[in-house]
Amino acid sequence: MKRTKRTLVGAAALTLLLSGLAPAGAAQAPSPTPPANTAGVLPPDQDPFYRPPSGFESSPNGTVLRSREVTALAIIFPIPAKAHQVLYKSVDGHGKPVAEAATVLTPLTPWAGGGPRPLVSYQLAEDSLSTRCQPSYTLRVGIGAPTPAATYEMTLSLGALAKGYAVVYADYEGPNSEFAAGPQAAHGVLDGIRAVQHFPEAGLAPNGPVALWGYSGGGLATTWAAEQKEAYAPELNVVGAAAGGVPADLEKMLKFNDGNLGAGLGLIGVMGLARAYPEAGIDALLNDKGRKLFADNHDNCTLDIALLHPFDHLANYTTVPAPADSPAARLLYEKNNTGQATPKFPFYNYQGLADEFVPVAPADALVAKYCANGGTVEKSRIPFAGHIGGEIAGDLPALGWLSDRFAGKSPKNDCA
C-alpha cells in the first residue's frame, strides 16, 4: 500500500517535471517516451563495474577509477539528460579505502546562467542493507528497484535538472551498505562530488558551485556531509545545504520508534550501524531471534524490513532488557549523531510537525546548536504534515532556497 501511494506521487511529479527537461526549442513529442528495457542491468554484486582495479587504495580520495554512460530512469521513462556513472575512491568511517559509485545527470541544453553550471548533490534515502538499493542501480531500473527512493523520491529531485543544474547521486552507504553510518555517508557524498567535478564528460568546473540536498535518510547523509565538508573537502565550493526530515539524534530516533509504527526503521538502523562498527559489540547482545533477524535481512531494503516489523521492540532480539541504553548503543550514538561540527555555509532544515517516524525536537536542538556556534540556518516547520507529506510539501521550497544560494542571494538567518 505504501509503495503504491509513493509510486503514484512520483508519477504525478514525473508528468510535470519531464516536460521541463526537454531541450529548448525542441518539438513536442507525439507520444510519451517508451519505457526502457532494464532486463540486462546487473545488480552491483554481479556487475564487474563495481570492482575496483588493483592498487586503487593509493589514489587520492575522489579519484575516478572507471566510468560508463548509462540510461537513468524516472519510474519507467528514460530521463532526457546525459547520464554517466563513475566508480571513485573514498574511505569509510574508519579511514579504510573503499570504491563507491555515483550517477551524474547533466541537462542536454547549455547552461544559460552566469559562471559554471551548478551541481546539486542529491542524497536519496537509500536506507538499506543491500547494494541492490543503492542509487547507481536503482536509477537504472526505476520502478523495478526494491526501494521507493528509486520511484517517487527520485522524481522529486528532477526539478533541479529542469532549472539547468547537474545532479549527482552517490552510493554514500558504501560497498557494505552501512545504513545510518554518518562518517561513511559524509565521505561518500563529498568524494562523489569531487569525482564528477573532475570527470570531463559531466562538463562541470572543478570549482563550480555545489549544493547538498536530501530528506530522511538522505537528510542524515546531507547533514553529515555539510558538517564534515570543511575538514574533509575544504576545496569544494558548497554554497548551501537543504536537509529535511533529519534523524538528528539516533538515540531519540530509536526510542521514538521502538514499539511504534516505525519500529522496523529502528531495527534496520541498528543492523546498519552494527555492520559499520563491529567493535561496538552489537552482535554479542543478540539472542537467537536477533541473530536470525540479522541473518534473514542482511541483503534487504527498507520496506523489506519496515513493513514486517511495525510495533516491534528491539528488546525482543537481545539478551539485555534496555539495548538502546547499553554501552554498545552509546558508542554508536557517539560516532554517528549529528551536531559534531557546524556548517560554514547556509543550512536549511525542514520537517513536518506531524512526522510519525522522525521526532521534530532533535532537529530543533540541532538547529539551536548550529546557531549557538555561529551558523546560518533557516528553519521550516510544516503544519499537519507527516513524514512523506513533509517531503512532498517541502520539496519546491527547498529547491527554491538552493536556487537562491546559487544566485548569490543573502539567506534568511533564523539564528538572528
**Contact indicator for 347, 376 with CB cutoff of 8 Å:** yes
Q: Which long-range contacts (CB under 8 A, 24 or more apart) does 108-114 make?
A: 108/21, 108/23, 108/80, 108/81, 108/82, 109/23, 109/24, 109/164, 111/164, 112/164, 113/164, 113/406
Q: Which amino acid is at 23?
A: P
Strands 64-69, 81-91: pairing kind: antiparallel
User: Is-catalytic flag, 216?
Assistant: yes
Beta strands in 368-407 (DSSP E): 377-382
Catalytic pick among 128, 216, 380, 403? 216
Closest CA to 121 of 67, 166, 179: 166
User: Is-catalytic flag, 355?
Assistant: yes
Q: What is the DSSP string of 109-124?
A: SPP-SSSSPPEEEEE-
Q: Look at residue 17 and give its three-state secondary structure.
A: helix
Q: Look at residue 201 and give its three-state secondary structure.
A: helix
User: Is-catalytic flag, 258?
Assistant: no
Question: In the structure grid, which three cell numbers stand for residue 210, read together?
Answer: 555545489
**Contact indicator for 169, 124 with CB cutoff of 8 Å:** yes
Expressed in angstroms, the distance from the first to the final Cα of the chain is: 43
Catalytic pick among 121, 387, 395, 403? 387
Any idea what the Cα angle at residue 223 is, between residues 87 and 210, rounded to 5°?
60
Catalytic pick among 355, 380, 395, 403? 355
User: What is the rounded radius of gyration, in angstroms, for the C-alpha atoms of the chain?
Assistant: 20
Catalytic residues: 216, 355, 387
